[in-house]
Structure 1
Amino acid sequence: MTNRRSIFIVAMIAVLQLWSVAASAHQRSSSGPHTGIAIAEISHGEMIMIAEYRDRIIDLAARATDTNEPFRRVLNYAQIQHAYCLWGKMPGGVTDEASPFNECSHAYLAATKAVLLSMRGMGGEAVEAEAIVSAIDAGMVLRGLALITCQFSGEAFNTADVVRPAWRDVPLHPASMATLTALAAAILAVFYCGRRLLRRITP
């Protein structure tokens, strides 16, 4: 019990230190909008549906052969933003407007939407892309998502402008704080167990 308590305390300290460092950084990192490609905004309702089809969209885009540089840059941006947003794994990142990961979720899903719409004009991908668009449209109507908006719904993006999570707000969002604390605790527990194992097997 003492060991578990120690791991938890160290994990909390690690998370708070990470938060303090990250919070001092800017939420956006830009090399200038004029150097990038503009990406249209995405509504909150669209986000929910695009998130459900994201893997299928990215897989289709990765297989595309008849592409151009703008398409590849937007696709690359979508993947980079997805990683910055912790691969969409944070609770409420897509659905919770108050999540520190909501704006960066808007960014990678807006880029994913742009990739999907671009593929509607590609010979080899047009049919499947159109099928995905139709499924998303139908899902939005059936689930009443068409008119749902949030504070980031009108925000456009740019491939030169990386959107990071709002780390300074993590302690104010219980679900995010709990997830990151649990992750830090798990990493420290693995390190602790590995260290003890090495001590036992080392002569």
Structure 2
Amino acid sequence: MRWPPRFLALAADFFWATALLVMLVTSVQAHGGSSAPPPPGVQIPSLTHGQMAVIARYRGDILDLAQRQTVTDPTFRRLYNHGNLQFTYCLWGLMPGSLGDEESPFNECSHAYLATAKALLAYMATMPAAERQAKALISDIDADMVRSGASWILCQFSGEAFSTGAVIEPRWRDMVFHLPSLAVLLVTMALMRAAWSIFGAKRAGAV
């Protein structure tokens, strides 16, 4: 019995996606967890599930204000750099459901980078050069949170505090159980395979 070429291509995509996921899982150690105390570093207060969406809307404004600061200190730089690193680990917030879906493997790391953004803004409110603008931004965010009832919308990570001393990684092993994340992984692998086929064929023909 001969399998259709399309079925074989899909099977190959699934195989490579699964292989990639296995490699990620075996190379990643567990991080975070609300039951463990945060590691040494600048401590970052927790953020409720509802507050995430509000902070996400203002994150660009927070970073814009931070980037305009010319006089900084180690705490500011730790918060700023940690937030950017955490955002990268969380795949730049691009995964579906990373903000709104508690079951997303990327929800905890989204809590982390947004909690860091909020902590950075709070710290800038103590810096003379940024105080006025930071407090005005905090006022806007607070008003938005009150309107949306953000503080009352909780999830399993709402009580988790973070620290610049540790990076929260996505729960890679849970991607196979979260259909939106798995779909993105499979599509990405399919696109990579298609690109490899196109450019590989061109390269082989040029030799």
**Normalization by structure 2: what TM-score?**
0.87
Instruction: Output one character per residue of 1:155-187: Cα deviation in whole Å (capped at 9) or x when no partner.
Output: 011111111100111011001111111112112
Say if 2:127 is the partner of 1:122.
Answer: yes
**Which secondary structure does the structure 2 equivalent of 1:113 belong to?**
helix
Number of matched residues? 199
Cα distance in 2 between the residues matched to 1:4 and 1:187: 16
Give structure 1 stretches of 5+ with no counterpart. Answer: none
Q: Is 1:175 the equivalent of 2:190?
A: no
Paired residue for 1:90?
A: 95
Picking from 9, 20, 37, the partner of 2:42 is 37
Q: Who is 1:135 aligned against?
A: 140
Query: Among residues 12, 20, 40, which one is paired with 1:10 in the alignment?
Result: 12
Separation in 1 of the partners of 2:194 and 2:137? 42
* Corresponding residue number in structure 1 for 2:30: 27
Q: Aligned partners of 1:127, 1:14: CA distance in 2, in Å?
A: 52
Q: Shift of the alpha carbon at 1:7? A: 4.4
Q: Partners in 1 of 2:129 and 2:188 — Cα distance? A: 41
Q: Partners of 1:86 and 1:8 in 2: how far apart?
A: 25
Instruction: Give, in whole Å, the separation in 2 of the partners of 1:7 and 1:123.
Output: 60
Amino acid across the alignment from 1:18: L
CA distance in 1, matches of 2:204, 2:47: 53
Aligned partners of 1:7 and 1:189 also within 8 Å: no
Match of 1:188 among 182, 193, 203: 193
Q: Tell me, yes or no, if the aligned pair for 1:27 and 1:165 is still in contact at 8 Å.
A: no
Pairwise mapping of residues 143-182 of structure 1 onto structure 2 (< 5 A)?
Answer: 143-182=148-187
**CA-CA distance at 1:144 after TM superposition:** 2.7
1:46 aligns with 2:48: no
CA RMSD of aligned residues (A): 2.0
Residues 125 and 51 of structure 1, relative CA distance in 2, 3 Å threshold: same
**5+ unaligned residues in a row in structure 2: which ranges?**
none
Closer/same/farther in 2, CA of residues 160 and 141 from structure 1, 3 Å limit: same
Secondary structure of the residue aligned to 2:157 is: coil
- In the TM superposition, what whole-angstrom CA distance separates every residue of 1:73-103 from its partner, at most 9, and x where no partner exists? 1111111010000001011111111100011
**1:56 and 2:61 are equivalent in the alignment:** yes
Q: CA deviation at 1:125?
A: 2.2
- Are positions 1:77 and 2:105 aligned together? no
